[in-house]
Each structure stands twice: as C-alpha cells, then as structure tokens.
Amino acid sequence: MADPIPVLSVSGLKTRLFLKDGVLPAVDDVSFSVMPGETLCIVGESGCGKSMTALSIMRLLPRPVGRITGGSIMVDGVGDLAELSERQMRRVRGNHISMIFQEPMTSLNPVFRVGYQISEAIRVHHRVSASEARDRAIDMLEQVRIPLPAERYRSFPHQLSGGMRQRVMIAMALAGRPKLMLADEPTTALDVTIQAQILKLMNELKREIGMSLVLITHDLGVVAKMAQRVLVMYAGVVVEEADANSLFARPLHPYTQGLLRSIPRPAVRRERKGEIDTIEGTVPALTALPTGCRFSDRCPMVHEPCRKLEPPLASPDDIAAPHRKVRCWLHASPPQ
C-alpha cells in the first residue's frame, strides 16, 4: 500500500516579527508533518515559538508586524497556505483546518449567545438556513457533551463555566468538520479535573470525526497522555523530534532532559524536600540569541563547538533510532 499523504506538511517555515527594535526570528526553519488521525504535541517553555508556529499555519499573525518570510505550509487538498490570499484562507479556516485557543472568554463574543456564535460559524462554511444552523448548533453542543444543549444554546458566555466555554469553542472549531485541529494550550486556564475531561473529549472527538490534532502545551503530563509524536521547541527552532514513547524513555537533547527532570514527582524521596529540578536561566530574547547552539548558555553539557556553530536538526549519529531527530553536537560530528 502507498504511504498515506500527510494532512499537514510544514517545510522550512520562517516567521519574522518586524519591530522597531529589529527583526525577530519568531519561527526559524521549522519543518514537520502530521499524518491522518495522528496527535502531534509541540512542547516547550513560554517564548519558544509554539504559538507563533500555530498562528503562522493559520495565517493569523499579528498585523502588520508578523510575516511569513520563507517555507511552505501544505495542507492536503488545498496546497500551500503561505501562498494563498486572505480571501482564499477564509475558506480554508474552519473547513480544512481550525484552531482553539487558551482562554475561551477572550475568543467568544460576550454580547452574543453561544448558540448564535456556533450557528454563525456553521453558516459561514455551509449554505444552510438559520433554523437548520440552529439545529446543527444544538447537535454540536450535544456532541461536545454539554448537558441540556437546547437550553445552553441561549446562554451567554459569562453564564457558562470555564470548561463549558472551552467545549463551546471546540464545537465552533468542529462546525466545518476540518481534517486538522490546532489546540493552543486548551486546558491551561482550567482546573485539573476539567482539564482531564477536555482532553478525554478531544480524544473521543478525534476518533469520531477522523481528524488529526496538533496540541501545543508546556505540560509534559498532557504530552504523555495525548501524543503519538512530539516536537520540542526552543528559541524558535525545533531541538528534538521523536515518537512519544522514545522521547520519555530516552530524551536526547539536554533541553528535553531538563524538561523531563523538572516534572514534580511527589513519590520520589528528595534530599532537598519541597524543591524540584529546574533548568537554570531563561529562554534568550530573540534580539540576543547566543552564538552557536541557542541552548548553550543554559546547557549543563556545553562544550566548545556548541558556542561557535549552530547544530543542524538531524538523525543522531550515535543512536540507531528511526524517525528521531535532534539538534545537538553531542549526537553529531561538528564540521572540521
């Protein structure tokens, strides 16, 4: 059988922010693909470029400062999104690819009932009457497991809990039956029990609809629960790519190792009670990236080539691991 065609294929994506202080490489030569039915998690600290990658794919960059300056974003059945006009992109959003955001209260219009907002999303993508759109919206509320959907249809956003608002956002994102959904930290603002419910719902809907999912998070617990494959980003670049099992069993990049060490483990007895391991320092400003490896000023295993040359993202020389990539001189030979 022929290999399946990726739902999304990002190649050499470069996104720049043109500010008064200079041009910032928010996303720098990022490449990855998402297969049908797959969940890909993009993980990293705040400021690593995760959200900017998603906004670039959706062509929702802040104007006029944000701009895609290189690469391609291929979506099955559409072509290169980077080359489409804004009018063409409006047809793609919702129908082929959709996105839900971290805080639904800022995404929902507070002066319109949630049912009307879902109905409006349906009518944008499908030629249906207002009454049919209403019926479909109630069906969508039921599909995202909101109780009493006909009553909730008439609710305003402030009358719903945070978990229900996020379910409404998922219903809006699925109104056009997209092949791919991007979710940018969809559970961060929710308490732990509601987080688990939303993640379970997303997994169920993914299977029911047959879509693929790109989940952006800084929570490695979410990654372990949801991902088939993982991208680890740092300072605008991908530093490691692996299937989820391999990443947790044997992380290759020192940054990934630091992220995994920083997970609290209450059952593990520690010499320094109440403390957890951390990665010293912070993500560098895009205006002051270090020479060579971007993680070199925080890396506990830094050596001479790291401070001079930026390593490529490539398969490791020292490990026979198919479909694994790492951006580190510990696993590649620097040029002489």
The residue extents of the domains of the chain are 8-227
State mean pLDDT over 212-234. 93
- pLDDT per position as a tens digit, 208-219: 888 999 999 988
pTM of the model: 0.91
- Candidate CATH numbers 1.10.260.40, 2.130.10.10, 3.30.1600.10, 3.40.50.300; the one for domain 8-227: 3.40.50.300
pLDDT at 27: 96
Confidence of residue 265 (pLDDT cuts 50, 70, 90): low
Q: φ and ψ at 204, to 5 degrees?
A: -65, -45
State the DSSP H helix or E strand holding residue 117, giving kind and residue range, or none if neither. Answer: helix 114-125
State mean pLDDT over 60-68. 92
Q: Which residues pair with 100 in a beta bridge?
A: 183
Does the structure show a pLDDT above 90 at 177? no
For the chain, the farthest-separated pair of C-alpha atoms sits apart, in whole angstroms, at 70
Q: φ and ψ at 331, to 5 degrees?
A: -120, 20
- pLDDT per position as a tens digit, 123-176: 888 888 999 999 999 999 999 999 999 999 999 999 999 889 999 999 999 888
User: Checking DSSP bridges between strand 212-217 and strand 39-43, what pairing results, if any?
Assistant: parallel
Q: Which residue has the higher pLDDT, 33 or 187?
A: 33
pLDDT at 159: 94
